[in-house]
Every structure is written in structure tokens, then in C-alpha cells.
Amino acid sequence: MKAAREAAYRFLSALAGDLPGFEEVIRALFAGDANGFAERMTAWPPDIRDHALKLAALT
């Protein structure tokens, strides 16, 4: 799980660091809050959101 979260964090930092709600998304990621993680990315581009969800492996 830790490696998956770190991979998701690196991906999101590189591609989504300027998107709205980035910090909240990262907090949810490291809190293990799968629902919050997904919900906070709903306004983001689908490709970024979908790949981040796969990388994070929170579900």
C-alpha cells in the first residue's frame, strides 16, 4: 500500500499539482480515504483521475 500511495503521489505531483483541490486530494490519499480521494478529483481531467485511482490502489 505504501508503495502504491507513493507512486500515486509522484504522479499527481507531476501532473496535477496546480489543479484545484490538489492538497485535499493528497491528504485523502495518505489518510487512506478512498472515497474522499475519488470525490476530491471529480472535477479533474478523467485521464489523470482514473490513472491516479489505479496507482493508489485504495479500493
Q: What is the number of structural domains in the chain?
A: 1
Percentage of residues in the chain having pLDDT higher than 70 = 98
Identify the pLDDT of residue 40.
97
Quote the mean pLDDT of the chain.
95
pTM over 0.75: yes
Inform me whether the pLDDT recorded for 49 exceeds 90: yes
Q: What is the per-residue pLDDT for 1? A: 80
Is pLDDT of 58 > 90? no
Give me the torsion for CA of 16, 22, 23, 26, rounded to 10°: -70
pLDDT of residue 59: 62
Please classify residue 28 by burial: count the beta carbons closer than 10 Å to its beta carbon, then call 0-12 exposed, 13-18 middle and 19+ buried. Answer: buried
Residue range of the domain that includes 39: 2-56
The answer to whether 34 and 58 are in contact (CB under 8 A) is yes
